[in-house]
Structure 1
Amino acid sequence: MLSRSCFNLLNLDDYSIDRTRIPRVISVPGIISEFEDVGNAESPESDAVSSVSQERRIVVANRLPLKACRDSSADGKKWWFDWDKDALVLQLRDGFPSDVEVVYVGCLGVEIDPSEQEEVAQLLFDKFKCVPTFLPLDLINKFYHGFCKHYLWALFHYMLPLTPNHGVRFDKDMWQAYVSANKVFADKVMEVINPDEDYVWIHDYHLMVLPTFLRKRYHRIKLGFFLHSPFPSSEIYRTLPVREEILRALLNCDLIGFHTFDYARHFLSCCSRMLGLDYQSKRGYIGLDYYGRTVSIKILPVGIHMGQIKSVMSLPDTAEKIKELMREYHGKTVFLGVDDLDMFKGISLKFMAFGLLLDENPMYRGNVVLIQIMNAPRSRGTDIQEVHDEINKVACD
């Protein structure tokens, strides 16, 4: 039986966007026919797809684990792509068996001219097994910079828009853009999936309604979701006008993963209080019964990829940088901080704590150094500039 969320989100996907699809980029054996629109998925042929039999993992995230730039040697007319070894979703490959093929679906992070999109899509699939999702700039602004970063990101970190001038209030247009963007991601997954063999792993709060579109299209699809951010308590989450739609969409997965037990507990509490669902917990297993399916809830803390760290440490450039720092700070204790420029990273609080350390322990003055590296912000707006100004002010005091 399909959940109600399979239907209600389709009514919101009315964003003005060109639905013309790029020709199939599949270069594996088998024939994949053109799929009908997801709304026509009730037919018995809904699950009829390619005869590809190799087991695969389809990893879906907002950003592909790729770096992209124009090739200067070709008069700036050709694109150059390479793996972004710092991308978290790329590290997931090491957790899969060596004989499992991994396909990535996501955005590139750079704007590709429509006339180049077909060529770029073919190149990325042939060389990297990546399927790019091309979103119009206006949709990106409302979906990512609007609903995701200014609304969901703040809400999931317990920041509520208490006044018209404090925070971003819920905007229906941004919500519709969020749903429409998730529908575009679903279309790209449908281009490559073999639902009887493949496992789809969706990542983070950008794509929380994607499971609805995929479950609607393929009843037997194997879906997993992992949330890389906190999940707030029910008292905070209940302020979200589309709280039930998102919960029901996530429950279209077979497995939902969280960083900590607290985040999972908050999610279960929301499902209980807002949807009236009960869950079972036995010997570490947590399951939610939802429309005839059992949704597994897992606590999956993200670890540190020691192999990646050792690889970077062994580079000649790293060794040279270490020597440079040792010469510059010889005899001193060095504290290192690496954070994104974001209001929730607490960089200014770190500076204040470091200043308090020096005030209360005069013997450390001149003997300890704090080096702070700030990565570029992932969002934009006045709040980012305010955070930047606050950090500079605290650092100069």
Structure 2
Amino acid sequence: MSGNDFVVVANRLPVDLTTADDGTEKWIASPGGLVTALTPVLSAHQGCWVGWPGVADAAPEPFRTDDGVLLHPVSLTSDDFERFYEGFSNATLWPLYHDLIVTPTYSRSWWQAYRDVNHRFAVEVDRVAAHGATVWVQDYQLQLVPGILRQMRPDLTIGFFLHIPFPSPDLFRQLPWREEIVRGLLGADVIGFHLKANADNFLQLVRSVSGVSGGHTGLPDSFEVTGHASVREITAHVTSSDGRSVGVAAYPISIDPTDLVEVDKAHVAKLREQLGADTTLLLGVDRLDYTKGILQRLNALEELLADGALAPEDVTFVQIATPSRERIEHYQRTRSAVEEAVGRINGRFATLGHPVVHYLHQSLPKPELQAYYAAADVMVVTPFKDGMNLVAKEYVATHGDGSGAMVLSEFAGAAAELNQAYLCNPFDMESAKQAIVQAVQGLKRTPEVTAERMRAMHAQVIEHDVDLWAQAFLDSLKKAQ
């Protein structure tokens, strides 16, 4: 298979394998902003998506989606999944890039698997990419792919985008294979991050890590920022060891708000009735990940109830926790602690027929999730560290009428744009408690001010959607050709 002028490379294909009751299998489109953003681009450019199909040891033939996008599977064994994905990607890089919330594991065996799988992805891209094609590599699992591809196919224009934070140089230098990772990234023509701070960290790292660059250009002490505050470009470049100029820029990712603007009002009303029409409904929606601060927000709620700042009969908290990486020990511990806290809070404060906390450890269909967004009075988003957090933007998109309020961690990337939220420091229990109380009281005591804050955030999200994010990055990549 060859001749594709535009190729997206990601750890996962944009489809999930489902099995019907009669045993037949079918590929269905995965939800998610990245899929929504890139599918039209791929369709328009005779495009191809290279990725793992999500099933270990599966090797399906390439196939096309209903939109005409060619999906080119990369096969991973069960051992690859354990060492490359669960191991190096999510027990080494993930905690390192999230500021050591848990301690990373540095395993030479995992590193070998990471190199091998990245090489395998690069080989598959080489097979499908036309001469002079544009290749866009996605995220932390594939940081070596740009460098490998550059050696294999110097004719390609290569972009890389990191969807999680990039750590400070002092933290990154812990990684035993730091030079190899940086060299891999510098194989790209443009490297994109969510925030200027992430790009700054990378640029400082390139200065300090030996053996990765043949010189630097355009690296002033403070970087000029051009364009709208929500579509930033840092005018900085580094020179790779082979003499190429590599652009480094910030492009905050966003959502497709189209399906979130209109809601099923009857469904929302029914949900409110079930959860307590007269109570203040607080909502958390997260992957069950230790970076998301789920336990801490539950502890904050418990203290507020114990202090009398919130009355149990006046509030209902719904926590939707999507299962995530359940074989990894830190995730198992997180789930156990969260579920223990839910039981403890309800044991202390619930009354017959009115649990204070409703907990769902499951994935919900998009329409159902949208109903929860619309029904919630207060969205609570309190990650210790997050590249962006699209849940925050999805909630805001659902409240174009100015209803609702949002408690938002200052360490979520979204806080740079959604600064009308009630910001808090999730490491500080008093800060989190204060933000929750301010949001609840703001809805009752200063509804006009609270509505104005929500409408300002809604306008920001609607104007700066995922299409703008994708186009901004691709425009930069086109200039690099």
Instruction: Give the TM interval when normalised to the shorter protein.
Output: 0.7 to 0.9
Partner of 2:189: 254
Partner of 1:345: 292
CA contact (8 A) 2:47 2:69 kept: no
Distance 1:94 1:283, change over 3 A: farther
What TM-score do the two structures reach when normalised by structure 1? 0.76
CA contact (8 A) 1:93 1:102 kept: no
Distance 1:265 1:367, change over 3 A: same
Distance 1:146 1:221, change over 3 A: same
Pairing of 1:12-161 with structure 2 (within 5 A): 26=1, 32=2, 50=3, 56-73=5-22, 76=23, 78-84=24-30, 86-93=31-38, 96=41, 99-111=44-56, 113=58, 117=59, 120-124=60-64, 128-159=69-100
Pairing of 1:348-387 with structure 2 (within 5 A): 348-362=295-309, 364-378=311-325, 380-387=327-334
Once the two structures are superposed, residues 164-198 of structure 1 have per-residue CA deviations (whole angstroms, 9 ceiling, x without a partner) of xxx453111110100100111112111210131x2
Mean Cα displacement is larger for which, 264-273 or 356-365? 356-365
Secondary structure of 2:285's counterpart equals strand
Distance 1:193 1:177, change over 3 A: same
Pairing of 1:197-276 with structure 2 (within 5 A): 198-275=133-210
Partner of 1:176: 112
Secondary structure of 2:218's counterpart equals strand
Instruction: Tell me the distance in 1 between the aligned counterparts of 2:47 and 2:17.
Output: 20
Instruction: Tell me the distance in 1 between the aligned counterparts of 2:42 and 2:112.
Output: 38
Residue ranges of structure 2 left out of the alignment (5+ in a row)? 226-234, 346-481
Distance 1:65 1:97, change over 3 A: closer
**Partner of residue 289 from structure 1, selected from 235, 239, 261:** 239
**Bigger relative contact order (CA 8 A; separation at least 6):** 1
Secondary structure of 1:104's counterpart equals strand
Secondary structure of 1:195's counterpart equals strand
Instruction: Tell me the distance in 1 between the aligned counterparts of 2:312 and 2:71.
Output: 51
Partner of 1:192: 128
CA contact (8 A) 1:186 1:213 kept: yes
Instruction: Tell me the distance in 1 between the aligned counterparts of 2:130 and 2:118.
Output: 19
Distance 1:63 1:319, change over 3 A: farther
Mean Cα displacement is larger for which, 227-236 or 126-135? 126-135
Aligned length: 326
**Partner of residue 280 from structure 1, selected from 218, 224, 228:** 218
Mean Cα displacement is larger for which, 125-134 or 215-224? 125-134
Once the two structures are superposed, residues 145-164 of structure 1 have per-residue CA deviations (whole angstroms, 9 ceiling, x without a partner) of 11111111111112287xxx
CA contact (8 A) 1:124 1:132 kept: no
Q: What is the CA-CA distance between 1:69 and the residue it aligns to?
A: 2.0
Secondary structure of 2:176's counterpart equals coil
Instruction: Tell me the distance in 1 between the aligned counterparts of 2:182 and 2:320.
Output: 36
Once the two structures are superposed, residues 191-250 of structure 1 have per-residue CA deviations (whole angstroms, 9 ceiling, x without a partner) of 210131x21111110000011221011112101111111111111111100001100110
Instruction: Tell me the distance in 2 between the aligned counterparts of 1:253 and 1:100.
Output: 20
Q: Structure 1: which amino acid aligns with 2:300? A: A
Distance 1:123 1:220, change over 3 A: closer
Q: Structure 2: which amino acid aligns with 1:133? A: V
Two-structure CA RMSD over aligned residues (Å): 2.4
Give the share of equivalent positions with the same residue, in percent.
29
Residue ranges of structure 1 left out of the alignment (5+ in a row)? 1-25, 27-31, 33-49, 162-166
Distance 1:256 1:138, change over 3 A: same
Instruction: Tell me the distance in 1 between the aligned counterparts of 2:268 and 2:65.
Output: 38
CA contact (8 A) 1:337 1:371 kept: yes
Instruction: Tell me the distance in 2 between the aligned counterparts of 1:339 and 1:217.
Output: 39
Partner of 2:259: 308
Q: Structure 2: which amino acid aligns with 1:130? A: L
Q: What is the CA-CA distance between 1:95 and the residue it aligns to?
A: 7.1
